[in-house]
Homo-oligomer: A and B are copies of this chain.
Amino acid sequence: MATIHDVAKRAGVASITVSRIINHSGYFSQEKRQRVEAAIVELGYVPNRLARGLRSKRTNILALVLTDITNPFFTTLARGVEDAASDAGFIVIFCNTDESETEEQKYLQVLLQQQVDGILLVPTRSTSDSIEFIQKHGTPVVVLDRRLPSNAKVDVVRCESVDGAYRLVQLLIGLGHRQIAVLSGPKIVSTAEDRVIGYRQAMVEAGIDERLQLVSYGAFTQSSGYEMAQQVLNVNPRPTALFAANNLIAIGVLKAVRDAGLRVPEDIAMVSFDDLPANLLTSPFFTVAVQPAYEMGQRATQLLLARLTGEAPEHCQEVILPTDLIIRQSSGQARN
């Protein structure tokens, strides 16, 4: 393959001049620019980014490490990241951890070896271990979607999980429900925990007997939602409303409810966190608290890029975006 030297020779200039022209850096004359560009085309020259990165210490690559790219919430978030990164001339590497700490560590190791310029991380655990590992290597990092212990000195972009959950449950209570169950994700994940906290707040505030609180922890998956719902539907007295802590859980719950011969919302009401994309559902049905996934990705990327260029303020930022309540059929009408 042709190198920068080949181009330089062919154009009758020094290689550093070619470099300047390729990178639009420093001074060069239009005449040489034309000669160099012609040589590049003739030789089919493709710059070697490995060499460039080795020398310049910048790769123009960001990494997005998340837990489940098949979840439309994260797919949308990833789009936000990619668009913001692309605008700034960066490409993005996506990594999928499946909520596995081991996978997370494996990927972080590889990404640091790869000398990525920055990392956007949806952490699998609520500890600062991974963050410290990354920061020890000197690579900027922004945490997405989840809280970390306050000793972690890192930027965070996430949503109002507590408030979103609070408002969803408040809605159900306003419709006359008292026996409301929450079906959540892994207890170790902050969003799962926060949505339960919001649920408890609404229940307590409504003066509902604490013994009526029904909390289930599982995974943020359809199958886990199915299993948790099966359990909860056997509780006596049966809850009149279910709160699914994310979209995939909601689908599993809906399936379990229907398999039990019940209808939503006639026999049992439902609300959920996170919407499902219009292109995968035949008609929107769930009453949901929607997180601005795309904006979350965008904001986090902008923050990361600001860190890279040193534009960001010294201290760490925590950006907390609001959720949006969308009321559809699944929550049903008021009961008496």
Measuring CB to CB, which residues of chain A are less than 8 angstroms from any residue of chain B?
A: 1, 44, 46-51, 53-54, 59, 69-70, 72, 75, 82, 91, 93-94, 96, 109-110, 112-115, 136-138, 221-223, 248, 251-252, 254-255, 258, 276-283
Contacts and interface: CB of A to CB of B under 8 A. Distances in A.
The 6 closest A-B pairs by CB, nearest first: A222-B279, A49-B113, A50-B54, A50-B53, A50-B50, A46-B112
Contacts of A51: 50, 54
Contacts of A72: 70, 280
A276 B223 CA distance: 16
Given A223-B279, A276-B280, 9 more contacts: A44-B137, A46-B137, A70-B75, A222-B278, A222-B279, A251-B280, A251-B281, A255-B283, A258-B283
Contacts of A279: 70, 221-223, 248, 251-252
B109 A46 contact: yes
13 contacts: A1-B138, A46-B112, A46-B113, A46-B137, A49-B113, A50-B51, A54-B54, A70-B75, A222-B278, A251-B279, A251-B282, A258-B282, A280-B280
Nearest to A59: B50
A48 B82 contact: no
Contacts of A91: 93, 110
Contacts of A222: 278-279
B93 A47 contact: no
Contacts of A110: 91
- Give the number of times this chain occurs in the complex, counting copies: 2
Given A75-B70, A278-B222, A113 B47 contact: yes
A255 to B, nearest CB: 6
A115 B255 contact: no
